[in-house]
Amino acid sequence: MNTVFSNKTAICLFVLPTLLIFCGIVLVPIVVSSYYSLLDWNGVGKGTFIGLRNYAEMFTDTRALHAMKNSLLFAAASVFIQLPISLLLALILASAVKGEGFYRTVYFIPVLISTVVIAQLWSKIYNADYGLLNTLLKEIGLSGWAQDWLGQKKTALVFSFIPTLWQYIGYHMLLMYAGAKSISQDIFEAAKIDGASRVRTALCITIPLMRPILKVCLVFSVIGAFKVFDLVYVLTGGGPFFSTEVPSTLMYTTIFDTYRYGYGSAISVFIIAECLVFTGLINKFFKTE
Amino acid sequence: MSVAEAASQRRPRLAGNIIMQAFLIVIAVTQIYPLVWLAFFSLKDNGEIFSGDVLGLPKKFLWSNYVKAFTEGQVLTYFFNSVLVTAVTILLVVALSSMTGYAITRMNWKWNHATMMLILLGMMVPIHAALLPLFMVLKNLKLLNTYWALIIPYVAFAIPMAVFILASFFKGIPREMEESAVIDGCGIYRTFLFIVFPLVRPAVATVSIFTFLSSWNELMFAVTFINDASMQTLTVGMMSMVGTYITQWGIIGAGLLITTIPTIVIYLLLSKQVQNSMIAGAIKG
């Protein structure tokens, strides 16, 4: 019996192909990226070793600092605008309202759609002349408010956040809903007998017991904000005048438009570090509290 | 509690219910109306869109937008490429991850825990980190502008989640199933393929849905590794189409909708399963 389950050939056959492709494509490139980030290199020839000078440039260059600031603002918007809406929806749906399944299905639809489609759709919504937003404003008599939402610096950043916030409300709602539903019904029965109101039950019982899933949502929304690429790339390309630039679009243009491979790699290493540090911080925050 | 007291308690409940339903409906409309609007303008001509009537139903359903998108707009090519890349990716992910998940959870060897930890590490890695090194490797291997340039990275990045989900399913299968198969003379390969693998079908469905969504919707690799228009997938194809038909909203809308329809059909057929897949993917320990 044991010889069958310790068959070395079978184990190699089952595990090695996966390990090979996984290490080669996922793990090794991180190491390689970190090495590239120490070079001054345009992709041709060998490149010169310049130590940490790419990182020094990144933390002094106003364009890079602006992109980092934008990604932090993006994360903050996700946490303080998107997650509360999702939580409210999840709590309402978990409290057995009419049409629970229908709403859950509907809210989740945008999550599944390609970000490219979402971005194209929203660029049409924002279109200055014929877009949905300006048309609606004109219909309700606020034509003075209509403007080129993505074409000017002062509105572009906020309005390029909205599609992502909109798209993933349903995702966090679903996770939180699953978390709320996994709480034992006995607790709610007890609260009801004690005469607790719905708001009080939610604040004092449901939300505290949802901590594990809230942590997951918090990590996902912060990391998701740091990694955002597709939406900004398609919607604004980082413009106008770099006002909507985020680290990933800066990385992309640095590498593939200006051929600064070393500096671009430094930005990619920064994105990984940013994700790891914030995951660690959130985990720590949830542990100590 | 007197009748009057009970009634006075019920009234705020009722008001609360109405407010909650109103809130749910408002959010439902904001989540769905943009997509309905997209469907509407995909069936309109420019005259109707630019005359200011972009909100409502099309006066006449202009299906020719879809025909134009498919033929002139090359959406058929993009669609075929996306289907091919996604299908091969799913097959490879399921095959590789189920074998590895099985070996890690059910077979006896020294490094099984270490291997699992190593693979799980991959869930933390954003694809950004691999972009440039992969580009260089694919360039040197002359694999840019081939389907493999997308399939191999998609498989690699789907493996961690897939192994995790499958491994947790394999763990739940009773040992006796395999033992009796071995006593009856099955070797390890037949035990895996005919006894154990059929038992984890729900996990295979979860992994397939997950892999489908991530590779069907992926942009960064697709836009970097493929620039030959005949090899592009839908996401990149949509970007070039928007450039070509810049003012023809109807055709763009049709292309965007064609990109979305497979996902929506799968979701409407399997909405419970899709939702559970997303939950399973998130709660990874």
CB contact under 8 A, B31 and A252: no
- pLDDT of A88 over the 90 cut: yes
Query: For the segment B64-103, what is each residue's pLDDT rounded down to a tens digit?
Result: 889 888 888 889 999 999 999 999 999 999 999 999 999 9
Asked whether the beta carbons of A121 and B38 are under 8 A apart, the reply is yes
Instruction: Give B99-110 as a DSSP string.
Output: HHHHHHHHS--T
Q: Which residues of A touch B163 (CB under 8 A)?
A: 18
A53's CB contacts (< 8 A; 6+ apart) are A40
Domain boundaries, chain B: 74-241
A42 in contact with B, Cβ within 8 Å: no
Of the pLDDT bands very low, low, confident and very high (cuts 50, 70, 90), residue B52 is low
- Please tell me which residue of chain A has the smallest CA distance to B127: A26
A42 within a domain of the structure (yes/no): no
A10 within a domain of the structure (yes/no): no
Q: Which domain range does residue A183 map to?
A: 62-285
A269 within a domain of the structure (yes/no): yes
A280 within a domain of the structure (yes/no): yes
Asked whether the beta carbons of A133 and A166 are under 8 A apart, the reply is no
CA–CA min distance A153, chain B (Å) = 23
pTM: 0.91
Mutate to test the interface with A, among B8, B23, B27, B154 (most CBs of A within 10 A): B27
Q: Which residues of A touch B130 (CB under 8 A)?
A: 25-26, 29-30, 33
**Partner residues linked to A39 by β-bridges:** A49
Write out residues 204-233 of B within 8 Å (CB-CB) of A: 213, 216-217, 219-220, 224
A9 within a domain of the structure (yes/no): no
Give the pLDDT mean for B198-223: 92
Q: Which residues of A touch B52 (CB under 8 A)?
A: 130, 135
Give the CATH number, domain containing residue A94: 1.10.3720.10
A220 within a domain of the structure (yes/no): yes
User: Which top CATH class is B74-241?
Assistant: mainly alpha
Of the pLDDT bands very low, low, confident and very high (cuts 50, 70, 90), residue B248 is confident
Query: For the segment B178-192, what is each residue's pLDDT rounded down to a tens digit?
Result: 888 888 888 899 999
Q: How many contacts, defined by CB atoms under 8 Å, are there between A and B?
A: 259
Asked whether the beta carbons of B145 and B85 are under 8 A apart, the reply is no
Mutate to test the interface with A, among B40, B117, B132 (most CBs of A within 10 A): B132
CB contact under 8 A, A120 and B49: no
CA–CA min distance B232, chain A (Å) = 14
Of B163, B256, B267, the CB nearest to A120: B256
Query: For the segment A221-266, what is each residue's pLDDT rounded down to a tens digit?
Result: 999 999 999 999 999 988 888 889 999 999 999 999 999 999 999 9
**ipTM of the predicted structure?**
0.90
The Cα–Cα gap between B71 and A225 comes to: 37
Question: In chain A, what is the straight-line distance between the N-terminal and C-terminal CA atoms, in Å?
Answer: 49
Number of domains in chain A: 1
